[in-house]
Chain A
Amino acid sequence: MRNPKFKRQLGALALGGVVTLLIAGCAGGGAAAPVVERDLGTPVAGVVPEGVFDGVTLTYAASGGIFQDGQRDAAWDPFAKISGATFLQDAFDAGKLKAMVDSGNVTWDVTNATQFDTARGCGTLYEEYDYSQVDISKVPEGTITDKCMVPNILYGLVVAYNTDAFGDNPPTSAADFFDTEKFPGKRTVSQSPYVDPQTVEFALAADGKDINDVKVSDIETAFDKYRALGDDVIGWTSGAQAQQQLESGEAVMGLVWSGRGYGAAAAGAPIAPMWDEWMIMVDSTAIPKGVKDPQAAFAAVNFYLGADQQSRMTELTSYGPVNVDATPKVDALLNTWLTTEHLKSGHAPNIDFWVENYDALSAAWAGWVTGS
């Protein structure tokens, strides 16, 4: 500090810091021009008037893979073609969503979420639906679990196993998943950054516990059950990785999304589903809070729910349709993976419990995915 020049330089650095601070602090989101309400009439699932959204750009954010590609081809692109809108696809990231909503600059219009996401974030992260703008009359009963969602797909968390590895004696129960003596080999289980309550529920169901009567202390019990598998349990952090582990034979069993099991089987791998104690999953189509053009977003979701769109979506992705009138043409392989055929042995999640105890779950999940 003896040297005045040095001081001046420090001053300049400090000034730079202040300027950047100011900029970081006071920039707000770009104020969007108020959207004119168009007259779309009474909504009918799968229908949008021609040319009503000329010049509108919508973005769908989801987790990619055949799932998102299939939805794009079955619904979003046809919607764009008829309505005149442009439909873009982006990779979903919940952290980004929160930053967008916080900053008031929401660049996504429709997103894929879980039932837990919308139940937790309804009104804060997600817009409440105006069901007068979306025709939900054909949506399967009981699949709308909060005001910020309509169902997106029906699928499941199922055990997929390698038929070559077990031959005539394949696993038949959830308990077999944890029996490494009778069924040797590695199992893959979700360790994705996204907290998954149903992975916990599966372990509890395998122990014969009623998942509608879970306690906070059961969470660690479930993870301990996985940990007890020792070196025989490996993790997947993305659906693609789960599929790759099954395809390569790296894992002989996996607790995976049904579509990923189907993906491995469709690629020619000897993989089959096991339907004991599987977890019924319903994804949500959710609209981010502060979306720029709610009417266009609702209209897109309304279009998505059409019977034709849903049939096509199922044919392309293997995920179950969310319109009861949908009649997808499915081949034998796809049919073995369709969760809608096995609803009896499936468990719907205990959403209220997980929303209430989310913090306990996420702390335990953090430990599970970081190996501590």
Chain B
Amino acid sequence: MTLKRALGALAALIILWLLLPTLVIIPMSFNSAASFNFPPQGFSLQWYENFFTDPAWLRALGSSLQVALVTMVVATSVGIMAAIGLSKVRFRGKALLESYFLTPLIVPGIVIAIGLYSLFLRFNLLGTLPGFVLAHTVVALPLVIINVTASLQGVDPRLEQASATLGAGRLRTFFSITLPLIMPGVTAGALFAFVTSFDEIILSLFIQSPQLQTLPVKIYNSVTQASDPTVAAVAVIAMFTSVLVMLTAQFATRKRKRVSA
């Protein structure tokens, strides 16, 4: 029991260390002085006002949401297909192929970014929606595959066989039997894909152009080029968007656990 208490105290400290530092950004965003010094000197909404009245920031937020939504749709559809495909095929190189799909998670971002830049330059994909979506899909796909694969392993293959026996086509079986069963994994994967794209920075820095800049790119440029506390307000807005999506994902997963229990 004492061990449990001690661990509990330790865990509390760890949680503080994980969450608290990030939260200083919130008071900073209400700072009345034009600086990043802590503690803030007074209360003001000027940085939020700046954000909501500056078309460039709003356009960046819009682009980010657009890219993240389309990436979510593409990564989720492709990811579901891949996960189902992987669960059905058996061959020697399967593990290799699985790793192939998952490696974008571990390769240093800057190496992919440099390569993507010179490739996109040649295909005129810089600063385009398809360019952003496909680049982000590569890093979001592994998360979808991991989550959907996990859900698929809880699906009894006999259900699909039964559906086929009863005369349902492959597509019908998928949409009326398999998809509802793996829905929690799909939801979680989709939301992870959304957030991954919404927060992606390194690839985006290289594939952006003035025609299409996502929010993290604008934040990065602001941090490295200007000392403008508007960025604190933007950070708070971005943070809450991500956390909201993340909490939804958490909720979806929990529901799944209850169903499978």
Contacts and interface: CB of A to CB of B under 8 A. Distances in A.
Interface of A: 3, 5-6, 9-10, 13, 24, 27-30, 59, 63-66, 68, 88-91, 96, 99-100, 103, 105, 107, 237-241, 243-244, 247-248, 263, 267-269
B250 interface: no
Given A63-B225, A64-B221, A89-B210, 15 more contacts: A3-B92, A6-B91, A13-B93, A13-B100, A30-B124, A59-B210, A65-B225, A66-B226, A105-B122, A107-B209, A240-B224, A240-B225, A240-B226, A240-B227, A269-B35
B2 interface: no
Interface in B104-146: 117-119, 121-124, 126
B210 A99 contact: no
A43 B122 CA distance: 35
A5 B93 CA distance: 8
B227 A247 contact: yes
Nearest to B124: A30
Contacts of A247: 35, 37, 227
A88 B100 contact: no
B225 A239 contact: yes
Contacts of B84: none
B78 interface: no
B135 to A, nearest CB: 15
Interface in B159-191: none
Interface in B3-46: 33-37
A9 B97 CA distance: 9
A96 B210 CA distance: 14
A90 B37 CA distance: 29
Contact of A248 (B37, B94, B124): B37
B221 A105 contact: no
A238 B209 contact: no
B223 interface: yes
Interface of B: 33-37, 91-94, 96-97, 100, 117-119, 121-124, 126, 206, 209-211, 221, 223-227
Contacts of A96: 117, 206
B211 A241 contact: no
Contacts, number: 85
Interface centre among B34, B36, B121, B126 (most CB of A within 10 A): B121
Nearest to B91: A5
A241 B35 contact: no
Contacts of B123: 27
Contacts of A3: 91-92
A5 B97 CA distance: 13
B34 A267 contact: yes
7 contacts: A29-B121, A63-B225, A64-B225, A88-B210, A237-B224, A247-B35, A268-B35
A230 to B, nearest CB: 26
Contact of A240 (B92, B93, B121, B223): B223
Contacts of A63: 225
Contacts of A238: 224-225
Contacts of A103: 118, 121-122
A244 B225 contact: no
Given A100-B121, A268-B33, A9 B91 contact: yes
A65 B35 CA distance: 15
Given A27-B123, A107-B209, A248-B35, A5 B92 contact: yes
A91 B221 contact: yes
Contacts of B33: 268
Given A59-B210, A240-B225, A6 B124 contact: no
Interface centre among B34, B93, B117, B126 (most CB of A within 10 A): B93
Nearest to B94: A9
Nearest to A237: B224
A24 B116 CA distance: 10
Given A24-B119, A248-B35, A268-B33, A9 B226 contact: no
A99 B224 contact: no
Given A107-B126, A267-B227, A99 B36 contact: no
Contacts of A99: 117-118, 121
Nearest to A192: B224
B224 A241 contact: yes
A248 B223 CA distance: 15
Contacts of B91: 3, 5-6, 9
A243 B227 contact: yes
B107 to A, nearest CB: 15
B117 to A, nearest CB: 6
Contacts of A237: 224
A91 B94 CA distance: 43
B210 A90 contact: yes
Nearest to A249: B37
Contacts of B97: 9, 13
